Amino acid sequence: MTTNQVISHLWERPRPFTANPTLTHLLSAPSVDPSFPSDHAAVAIAIAFAVLAFSRRAGLLFLATAILIALSRVALGMHYPSDVLAGMVIGWAAATLVVGLGMRWIDRLVSLLSRISDPVLEPVWNRFGARPTTRSS
């Protein structure tokens, strides 16, 4: 069971469209799951912060997308703003925990995979005059 599921069982908050059925946009199907916290916001933010730990440019792009996902959940009437904020905090905490515990293993995996992929991709990098930078440990 995920953190969000545990919290939603402890704090069963109905979704906004149950209080006001006109809030749900035509493009979204109503969900019967509890509203608090937002799973979409938690997952999007977790992925964004995990990517940000490895690449500032890609991480900021993922973060901007995650924020748009979170805002869309409120705009569609699927969540209250506090549902999304709680989901974002949970996602950030999950990413911090996973990256903190897994950074050493991820670095080893990237190093191992680079030994395989670099010789294959080197002609492409040379052709375009670009070589990826390695992350310092």
Q: How much is the mean pLDDT over the chain?
A: 81
Question: Measuring CA to CA, which residue among 79, 31, 86 is closest to residue 71?
Answer: 79
Helix %, strand %, coil % of the chain (to 5): 70, 0, 30
Residue type, 25: H
pLDDT digits (tens, 9 = 90+) for 89-120: 999 999 999 888 888 888 888 889 889 888 88
- Band of residue 23 on the pLDDT scale cut at 50, 70, 90: low
Question: What tokens were used for 32?
Answer: 């019967």
* Domain ranges across the chain: 3-105
Helical (H) or strand (E) element with 14 = none
Q: Are 91 and 49 in contact (CB under 8 A)?
A: yes
What average pLDDT does the segment 38-62 reach? Answer: 91
Domain 3-105, CATH homologous superfamily name and number: Phosphatidic acid phosphatase type 2/haloperoxidase (1.20.144.10)
